[in-house]
Chains A and B, each alone.
Chain A
């Protein structure tokens, strides 16, 4: 056991509290008292990683075990990396400054594709071999989880194993298996074979992959009896029954989300056809207001945070939203803290509640119509009508809000130029709505900000077969939209198109991409999600050097193609996604789970084969309500 001395270099870097540790509520244990040391790695900077709820949850679960000490590791910023490399300081943990290579496990969370090169850079800084097959008996088990792990293949040669789905329960099983394996005195491969039997665990080296002549996948076959042909994701069915952190680490520096967040539910009842989160987290599982209020009280007392936020995919869909908001407001008013609701939908509840929520801040409201025309919104199954949007922004404008932000995507499947022009028309109507109202202050001008992203087809969505627009095609569409915007109160911002193409390549990538990643890392790619670090030229060179064509990955695919991620069973079936894609072509919408179950397959993940929306009393009541309202 050793530790690194970083006192000298901390004096020379920006934002030293990214690395110095000692934050309130960080877990202090004596490493000599534990059997298992787990380094939880977030492959981006401290301020991004510390905002991530999943990390807080697993950190809490692992540290509840007396036999395990989980510590945090983040990607150093460029200046710190230079200092570390200059002084020969390996990547270390925040809590005890122990070199990461001395841990038993290195667990990485995969939140977005553009963090993949950071993983390689961090392994390199840690002195851990980049490829799984090069790691010796003493090396840590390098593993990954998180949403991007659902298509693990682009990283299959880098990680020793992957966890599919929610980690609270399976992480304990992995630790127990580790103790058993240690006691048995087995080899590295024995542990991997042992955990291959655990539901949700994928060990890539236990599978052989064959390709067709055209480069598509021919087969993926287990090469030992322990490996399962299909890996089923793990879910926690009853969220009230599991641990939630009663403490969050309170950072010194300002991080992206610096507040007490409550996880209201997992999954989403809506089935937007572009949305991976909406599919991979199915089915919906809600926490009770009792539990959430208790979580809130604990967190406020232990952190001193001045703000609570509710976290979920679509918070206002929570069945007992009014009750929860009311009880939380009673708490926050008493404690003089704020309550913020990120995915606010004004149409779901009255303005008076919203005013209570955002009493002080009238800064901005966001809406995500995602597409400009009704036809296109039907294609993507975004069940928001122009009327809904106008009612919502109208309420907001009348309530004193001046700025609204609207999110859209371009490059969607089955899109025409008229659909793109529709974005500009819709934005103009929002501006007109401001001037049409008697309640708004006409001496001030509203501002309507459009945030437009290029669509990226993701695995496990009804659009997983779709072609992705080339950079040229996207640029043409951006120009088209820009020319269509004639109202000066409408502002437009666009996400870099080459990043979305790369994101798409890795999202639907296969094992062949491992070498491209390694090459990109060698060429100096890192911190790719930071504009100041991203270089498309380096990436192009990496693909060229490996003789791999990006277009192969962005192309449209046929229904009979075997996908690299087909072996992962997320509950939702491929047949359902095909059905949904066909409905998209015909611009036919599909009702959400509470209106009607569409038999997506996710119910099979529940113990009794029924989704909670069809068994919990509060949900059933909501369904009645919805039916009565037509």
Chain B
């Protein structure tokens, strides 16, 4: 990296709803880069053979999930007001994606440890006490080395049944340990006698550090 370049750090909190939930992470990166170009923001590019905009994402979102707590870091070559960045992006961003806020500086995304999800199944289980009390919850789960039987219990911090037919889950999140709520639902279908969740909707509503302080 060029020592003399002065770059300005920013991070964005954005939401992904409606149709935008079908955009995969990789496609989102391309969509986002093009949005930056359309907005005419002074994006900093990597140097070298194949320059690409400098940005990093906190935690990729699965296809089909909605979220209101997505976080990404970027670098600009000029200093701009936070509101201006937000508004210029929102003016040219595709439907279903919206920048909620822009912030100057580095985010705390390296501290990410947990995420909170709201799951809307067709049917909620009557009781999850038994499920939560299981010593081991083994389910086939995609890992870096292929699909493997994995005990997911250590990565479930909390599950609560909400009054509106939804479930709240707080699960491990980040590059070290990560558990997605659809895997938990799959385990519920396996372990809770007679339970059939049906199709579910998944929404990520917050991300936290080790001590459950929200990262935003």
Contacts and interface: CB of A to CB of B under 8 A. Distances in A.
A22 B19 contact: yes
Interface string A333-377: 001100000000000000000000000100000000000000000
Contacts of B34: 24, 250, 303-306
Contacts, number: 63
Interface in B10-42: 18-20, 22-24, 27-28, 30-31, 33-38
B154 interface: no
Contacts of B95: 22
A301 interface: yes
B41 to A, nearest CB: 11
Interface string A245-281: 0000010111000000000000000000000000000
A23 interface: yes
Contacts of A250: 31, 34, 94
Contact of B33 (A11, A254, A306, A360): A306
B35 to A, nearest CB: 6
B31 A11 contact: no
Nearest to B52: A306
Contacts of A10: 22, 64
Interface stretch (A13-21, A491-499, A550-558): A13-21
A11 B64 contact: yes
A306 B94 CA distance: 17
Nearest to B96: A22
Main secondary structure of the interface of A (DSSP, over half): loop
A335 B24 CA distance: 27
Interface residues of A, number: 24
Contact of A17 (B18, B27, B49): B27
A386 B35 CA distance: 47
Contacts of A254: 27, 30
B50 A360 contact: yes
B199 interface: yes
Given A252-B27, A252-B31, A304-B36, A20 B22 contact: yes
B94 A23 contact: yes
B38 A17 contact: no
Given A252-B31, A254-B27, A306-B33, 11 more contacts: A21-B19, A22-B18, A22-B94, A24-B94, A250-B34, A252-B94, A254-B30, A301-B38, A304-B37, A304-B38, A335-B37
Closest 3 CB pairs of A and B: A304-B34, A304-B37, A22-B19
30 contacts: A8-B199, A16-B22, A16-B64, A17-B22, A17-B23, A20-B22, A21-B19, A22-B18, A22-B20, A22-B94, A22-B95, A22-B96, A23-B94, A24-B31, A250-B31, A250-B94, A252-B27, A252-B30, A252-B94, A253-B27, A254-B27, A301-B38, A304-B34, A304-B36, A304-B38, A304-B92, A305-B34, A306-B34, A336-B45, A360-B50
